[in-house]
Amino acid sequence: EPEVTQTPSHQVTQMGQEVILRCVPISNHLYFYWYRQILGQKVEFLVSFYNNEISEKSEIFDDQFSVERPDGSNFTLKIRSTKLEDSAMYFCASSDPGQSMYGYTFGSGTRLTVV
């Protein structure tokens, strides 16, 4: 079964450093998403992306965050200057416009620890 692949599985970074989280969505999917989950809390929407631009973003997704599809397969989330409160699991997801009724496929996540 096709998968959404996220790398790395765990990243530790120092406060103030830039970090890039990488995702390879399912190949025929056209909608891409990032969600995050702070430990013990709800899964929260960050951003959706389609046709090389942001479709929708939450209030969490401020100027410190950016997304990019640098090539035909990768989808990245960049945090420019990490804060302690950015520590969370970050999940990438993708969906097929022809099958958007059937939900997203999420990746296994990247655990980001900011120290």
Partner 1 sequence: DAKTTQPPSMDCAEGRAANLPCNHSTISGNEYVYWYRQIHSQGPQYIIHGLKNNETNEMASLIITEDRKSSTLILPHATLRDTAVYYCIVRPYSGAGSYQLTFGKGTKLSVIP
19 φ, ψ (degrees, to nearest 5): -135, 145
- Distance, in Å, from the CA atom of 86 to the CA atom of 71, rounded to the nearest integer, reads 26
- Distance, in Å, from the CA atom of 84 to the CA atom of 80, rounded to the nearest integer, reads 13
**Does 58 engage in binding with partner 1 (CB under 8 A)?**
yes
- Binding to partner 1 in span 61-80, by CB under 8 A: none
Q: Which CB, 14 or 41, lies closer to partner 1? A: 41
- Beta carbons within 8 Å of 71's beta carbon, 6+ residues apart: none
- Binding to partner 1 in span 75-104, by CB under 8 A: 89, 91, 93, 95, 97-98, 100-104
Binding site for partner 1 (CB under 8 A): 4, 31, 33, 35, 37, 42-45, 48-50, 55-56, 58, 89, 91, 93, 95, 97-98, 100-109, 111
